[in-house]
């Protein structure tokens, strides 16, 4: 199943927000951490 996910750069602060929705907390954590790592590696 595809989980809703979003990585959005703030227009007012130097941060990128990573948001994930899932019925499974383990999947939510895994996907959010993966997206955050991608953001760190490419935007930091």
Mean pLDDT by 10 residues, the chain (44 residues): 77 90 91 91 84
Q: Match 């999947």 to its residue by tokens.
A: 27
The DSSP call for residue 21 is -
From CA 42, how far away is CA 9, in angstroms rounded? 13
The DSSP call for residue 3 is P
Q: Give the model's pLDDT for residue 2.
A: 60
Q: Give the model's pLDDT for residue 25.
A: 92
Q: Delimit the domains of the chain by residue range.
A: 5-43
In sign, the C-alpha dihedral spanning 37, 41, 43, 44 is positive
For the whole prediction, is pTM greater than 0.75?
no
Closest listed residue to residue 20, CA positions, set 11, 12, 39 = 39
| Cβ-defined contacts of 15-18 (< 8 Å, 24+) | 16/43
């Amino acid at each position: 199943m595809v989980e809703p996910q979003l990585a959005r750069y703030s227009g007012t602060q130097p941060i990128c927000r990573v948001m994930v929705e899932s019925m499974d907390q383990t999947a939510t954590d895994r996907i959010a951490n993966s997206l955050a790592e991608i953001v760190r590696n490419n935007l930091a």
